[in-house]
Amino acid sequence: MATEAQILANCRNAQKSTGPRTRRGKAAVSQNLVKHGFLARQAVIGSESQAHFELYRNQILAELAPKSPMESMLADRIVSLSWRLKRALRIQNQTIDALNARNTSSPLAKLTKSILFKGQGWPQDDASESASDLALGRLAIKDFSNERVLERLLMYERRIENSLFKTLLELQRLNLIKNLDPALENAV
């Protein structure tokens, strides 16, 4: 248990720590917990391209063709959720590859692989796979502390998928109501 002097010292030190003060510093700190991107507030995370997202967004919005503010809100939500679903699939694939790379990195596994496939004409896995190719997978493994990582990734995927399907159904319901009664179009 902390002594009275330690508690007072901690209180004095806490007064000195005020966090970032500049806009740039606050923006940098806001990204501290963005790892794999499942819980990110923004749609595009550091390992993704803003240009690819904009192209994807424009394609989806062109297909959905929202006409009202409510439809636009639902369409934006569909874009965000479907982009996150794509990220979830990429993270799962990278996690499986990272787990496989970890399991085949032992000297015995490498020797076995070289003996089995050498001279057979079978393609061997490229052991010099770039660290950035599996970065999200390794982050997921680390973030979930190796604790049932694939189950947790599937849980996130199911949640995103469920939200996406609910939003799609709501947009379809809204369009159906407007098509059934054109007088309601201005009311909704």
Q: What is the pLDDT of residues 120-169, one digit of tens each?
A: 444 444 444 455 566 666 666 665 555 577 788 888 899 999 999 999 99
Q: What is the pLDDT of residue 123?
A: 47
Burial 35-55 (b: 16+ CB within 10 A, else e): bbbbebeebbbebbeeeebee
Radius of gyration of the chain measured on its C-alpha atoms: 24
CA dist., res. 142 & res. 135, Å (int): 11
Q: Look at 6 and 131; give whichever has higher pLDDT.
A: 6
20 — pLDDT class (breaks 50, 70, 90) = low
Task: Find the mean pLDDT for residues 21-27.
Answer: 71
How are the residues of the chain apportioned to helix, strand and coil, as percentages rounded to the nearest 5?
70, 0, 30
Per the prediction, the chain carries an average pLDDT of: 74
- Better pLDDT: 4 or 113: 4
pTM of the model: 0.57
- Residue corresponding to tokens 């003060």: 21
